[in-house]
Structure 1
Amino acid sequence: MMALGVQQLKKGMDLKIVCKNIDETHQFLDRFYMSKIGIRMFIGQHVELHNPNPPHYVGCIHTKMSPVEVARNASEDARAMCLREYGSSPDVNIYGDPTFMFPYVLAHLQLMVFERVKNSLRAVQEHYMDSDKVAPPVRIIVPDGIKDVTIKVSDEGGGIPRSGLPKIFTYLYSNAQNPLFEHSDLGTFEAVTMAGYGYGIPISRLHAWYFGGDLQIISMEGYGTDAYLHLSHSGDSQEPLP
């Protein structure tokens, strides 16, 4: 609902006004969503600690989480969405040791990897849609990290122009179809499921920031994009809210 509100704001306001206030809007939404992540984390942890926990869980935190297994599950979900949207989907190849484990919030990592893979699948699918060539697979690399864990999602979906890179972390930008469609009766809409809200990248970065990590995007226009998801072990992190 917040994402649709931002899209309606962008659509209803003059472009110059939106551009003038984009930093203020972005900072407000960053604070709002970081608070939301924190409140949800606190409530979820409290509830889970008072319920019987599965093995290797302390509340919401999975103490022996395999990032390779999380990447596999997130990729399956993203490919299912791509298949539903386009009728086909590129493959996803995962490289890493499935026995490598570290403590983290499973739901957070699942969301971040899913959003990155979903973006890459859409980029590759649309880039090769009218081509006779076979669409190359999306690659996920998960090296073993002692202090930090980095997950790289790499695609050959045509990349992002350099001029567009500063915009991808804002809530008012998306290079996909806008999720709002006008109808005769005011206020009705249909939502695009695969993309279009412009929220996947900034929300993923906030989840990474929450435990001291980061998300970096490096792109080569005409070739593809690499997304680096840097994660700190949960035990070494502090909650970043003021």
Structure 2
Amino acid sequence: MFSVALRCHGKRCRPFAYSTLSKAISRPTLITPSPLAKIQKRNAAQAGTSNGTWRPVSVLDEWVAKEARPISLRQLMVFGRSLTESRLISSANYVRTELPVRIAHRIRDMQKLPYVVVTNPHIEEVYQLYYKAFDTFRKFKEIKTLEDNEKFCEVISQNLKGHLTVIPKLAMGILECGRLMDPKELDHFMNVILRSRISRRVIAEQHLSLTETFNSPYFSPGATLSESDFIGEVFIKCFAKDVISRCAKAVTHLARSTNGPQVQVPEVKIDGHLNASFPYILSHLEYIVGELLRNSVQAVIDRHQQHPDHASSPPPPIEVTICEAQEHVIIRISDRGGGIPREELPYLWSFSKGPQSQKRLENLGQVPRMAATMQELHVTDELGRADLKAPTYLGSLSTLTSRPPNLRLGMGLPLSRVYAEYWAGSLNLHSLEGYGVDAFLQISRLGNKNEQLTTRASMDAV
């Protein structure tokens, strides 16, 4: 179905996979030509100009030799608890040295992919974005003054904005290459890349937010921030009930805009430990809860509309239960939307395969940017959070994209699991076919768990 790139030596040609950094060379695979053959033609035409960044270079080796340093939510807040100029500059230098390390390992992971996958136009675009960012941050000089920090923050903001294309580009590339690699390997690659992307945005946005706080006319350097406020991007006391209520309001608005104002939207009922709180990055939690509620609400609406005899009665409610234990909080979201079709269950957490792959690919083509936040539900201003922090820079907490509300991308669940597992949590679903779904989101409530990220390139891991 896809052509394998050929490299000729005299009169002999052999399939080639970019793996000079690895001892293992991909085995030749005989694949019949397809429309993607134009990718090889395009790459051959550009070989003379773009091959430089594809080859491993010593400067990349130097950074790959270093290991990423995972941090916890508590450590993320250290610089901000009593923010001073010296602490802000220390934060800047941590980000300055950590970003190129984390990017370098992901560049090396991409270099390990078979050549025909790496040269997919979507994945190649992500590669070029990563290499440019790596080159920019590794060359940035040590930050010694507040003026240096302002320049550094400008560079960070530009990169955050430029990399909003990464998720849809990666997703399209993975779907197009679904038959060129083992789907499990593609999903593993996607999970590693996305988790690393989250980690970089977390430390970058945290520093931008601390800088914004430090420059605020209302801030006194050295003052201890209130326990009820944000420290950077971290919401110290994130009340589960408040987040669920806010997401439910947004999802209800979305359901009406998608299905029409006359549709009966199921009520979202919340019970359990209603005062449960924990430190968390609000945009992460909102995205997970928003996606789960959206799936449940739409499933109930669809099932209710399939039974005309139920039209006179309201649809069954979505029941959300909050359970607080000593070390974690569990949020269960239960619906009676008929469950997940059996043919979709094996691909529930996959980025690369599934019965709707082609439709997902077409939909992703209509999404130029994606920050993966609840704000992508395109809620109106009336749902804005006036009482919560809204940074002025273009970050994943405040960015809106052009995603239409009824455009299903098929990656909400796997991406939600990546977010959940990032801070050592978990996300699991239990489907009762013909009845409904129970989703279980577990969150560490102490904030002392490190980021769950791949600290080295997979090819270098022992």
- TM-score computed with the length of structure 1 as normaliser: 0.85
Picking from 269, 277, 281, the partner of 1:93 is 269
Distance 1:63 1:118 in 2: 26
Q: Return the letter of the residue paired with 1:221.
A: E
Whether 2:313 is the aligned partner of 1:140: answer no
Question: 1:48 corresponds to which residue?
Answer: 209
Distance 2:194 2:355 in 1: 18
Question: 1:225 corresponds to which residue?
Answer: 437
Judge conservation of contact 1:158–1:225 (CA < 8 Å) in 2.
Answer: yes
Q: Return the letter of the residue paired with 2:322.
A: V
Pairwise CA RMSD:
2.8
Q: Return the letter of the residue paired with 1:136.
A: P
Q: Return the letter of the residue paired with 2:323.
A: P
Q: Secondary structure at the match of 1:135?
A: coil
Question: 1:3 corresponds to which residue?
Answer: 168
Q: Secondary structure at the match of 1:76?
A: helix
Q: Write 1 or 2 for the structure with the bigger share of strand.
A: 1
Q: Secondary structure at the match of 2:405?
A: coil
Whether 2:232 is the aligned partner of 1:59: answer yes
Q: Return the letter of the residue paired with 1:83.
A: R
Distance 2:336 2:435 in 1: 5
With over 3 angstroms needed to count, the CA separation of the structure-2 counterparts of 1:192 and 1:62, relative to structure 1, is closer
Question: 2:247 corresponds to which residue?
Answer: 74
With over 3 angstroms needed to count, the CA separation of the structure-2 counterparts of 1:189 and 1:66, relative to structure 1, is closer
Q: 1:8-19 to 2 correspondence within 5 Å?
A: 10=175, 17=179
CA positional deviation for 1:167: 1.0
Picking from 249, 253, 257, the partner of 1:84 is 257
With over 3 angstroms needed to count, the CA separation of the structure-2 counterparts of 1:43 and 1:92, relative to structure 1, is same
Distance 2:362 2:335 in 1: 30
Question: 1:193 corresponds to which residue?
Answer: 405
- TM-score computed with the length of structure 2 as normaliser: 0.46
Judge conservation of contact 2:229–2:235 (CA < 8 Å) in 1.
Answer: yes
1:73-96 Cα offsets, whole Å, 9 max, x none, are 011111111111112222211113
CA positional deviation for 1:175: 6.0
Picking from 359, 370, 375, the partner of 1:178 is 359
With over 3 angstroms needed to count, the CA separation of the structure-2 counterparts of 1:148 and 1:179, relative to structure 1, is same
Picking from 294, 301, 314, the partner of 1:125 is 301
Distance 2:172 2:240 in 1: 33
Distance 2:449 2:284 in 1: 14
Question: 1:116 corresponds to which residue?
Answer: 292
Distance 1:236 1:32 in 2: 23
Question: 2:331 corresponds to which residue?
Answer: 151
Judge conservation of contact 1:92–1:140 (CA < 8 Å) in 2.
Answer: yes
Q: 1:16-27 to 2 correspondence within 5 Å?
A: 17=179, 21-27=182-188
Distance 2:270 2:292 in 1: 13
Q: Return the letter of the residue paired with 2:279.
A: P
CA positional deviation for 1:123: 0.9
Q: Secondary structure at the match of 1:50?
A: helix
Q: 1:29-44 to 2 correspondence within 5 Å?
A: 29-44=190-205
Q: Secondary structure at the match of 2:345?
A: helix
Distance 1:26 1:130 in 2: 34
Q: Secondary structure at the match of 1:117?
A: helix
Q: Return the letter of the residue paired with 1:167.
A: Y
CA positional deviation for 1:56: 2.3
With over 3 angstroms needed to count, the CA separation of the structure-2 counterparts of 1:174 and 1:67, relative to structure 1, is farther
Whether 2:283 is the aligned partner of 1:107: answer yes
CA positional deviation for 1:33: 0.7
Judge conservation of contact 1:49–1:59 (CA < 8 Å) in 2.
Answer: yes
Q: Percent identity of the aligned residues?
A: 28
Question: 2:86 corresponds to which residue?
Answer: none
Distance 1:128 1:197 in 2: 23
1:71-119 Cα offsets, whole Å, 9 max, x none, are 0001111111111111222221111344322211111111110010001
Whether 2:347 is the aligned partner of 1:167: answer yes
Q: Write 1 or 2 for the structure with the bigger share of helix.
A: 2
Distance 1:207 1:91 in 2: 26
Judge conservation of contact 1:155–1:225 (CA < 8 Å) in 2.
Answer: yes
Whether 2:423 is the aligned partner of 1:211: answer yes
With over 3 angstroms needed to count, the CA separation of the structure-2 counterparts of 1:9 and 1:36, relative to structure 1, is closer
Comparing 155-164 with 110-119, which one deviates more in the overlay? 155-164
Judge conservation of contact 1:159–1:224 (CA < 8 Å) in 2.
Answer: yes
Q: Aligned pairs, how many?
A: 234
